[in-house]
Amino acid sequence: MSETSWRAVDAFLSGRLCPDDDAVLMARERARAAGLPDIEVSVSQAQLLALLCQMTGAKRILEFGTLFGYSAITMARAIGEEADITTFEIDEVHAKVARENFEAVGVAGQIELVEGVAADNARALIDSGAEPFDLVFIDADKPNNPIYVEAAIELAHPGTLIVVDNIVRDGAVIDPDPADEKAVGARAAVDLIAEHPRLEATGIQTVGTKGWDGFLLARVSS
């Protein structure tokens, strides 16, 4: 089956099951107009995050990598007024567009966007004794995935879900010595999670609008 077919099936499923509304479409248009890259999660993946929040009763969310705010908006709307989302973004332009989108969609009061280096921001939360998070979504610079996973565990409680996006990298994750630094980060995160005594996890391959990729879902057990 070709990538064209993958994309067509993705479009059919997202269109039938979880279509974006006008507010989210406008958020995406602001991002494109500002020159942001087309690297946000797919519509179906965003809906999966929303459902995970609802199924687990998650309220406090930590996100590594805001981009234009699509996944944060989707989770905030799924949770409702009780949503308490912290999202990290290093790029000033991305952060500006995301804040505009949060205001336009009506979720600005539920989301705190913290600019700067994500690893430093996470360490600041840990050092301050921040309340644990219910779900952590990692979708930032891939080489630092192991750092983000370690931080997520420190900021978790038993039952916290950790979702790591883009772990397959067109199959490069199975190379023990990949040339692509993003695949190196993906592989290191998989190895770390597989060996960690506090985590139970699985990895799911996906095909669709984002090509051949996948995500890792881990639960903090203790």
143-185 pLDDT, tens digit per residue, is 999 999 999 999 999 999 999 999 999 999 998 888 889 999 9
Contacts 24+ apart (CB under 8 A), 88-93: 88/63, 88/64, 88/113, 88/114, 88/115, 88/116, 88/118, 88/121, 88/122, 88/140, 89/65, 89/113, 89/114, 89/115, 90/115, 90/116, 90/117, 90/118, 90/140, 90/141, 93/34, 93/35, 93/36
As for how many domains the chain has, the answer is 1
192-218 pLDDT, tens digit per residue, is 999 999 999 999 999 999 899 999 999
User: How high is the pLDDT of residue 176?
Assistant: 82
Q: Residue 109: which CATH number?
A: 3.40.50.150
Give me the domain span that covers residue 35.
3-220
Mean pLDDT of 20-25: 92
Tokens matching residue 207: 């095909």
Task: State pTM to two decimals.
Answer: 0.96
**Beta carbons within 8 Å of 142's beta carbon, 6+ residues apart:** 166, 169, 181, 182, 183, 185, 186
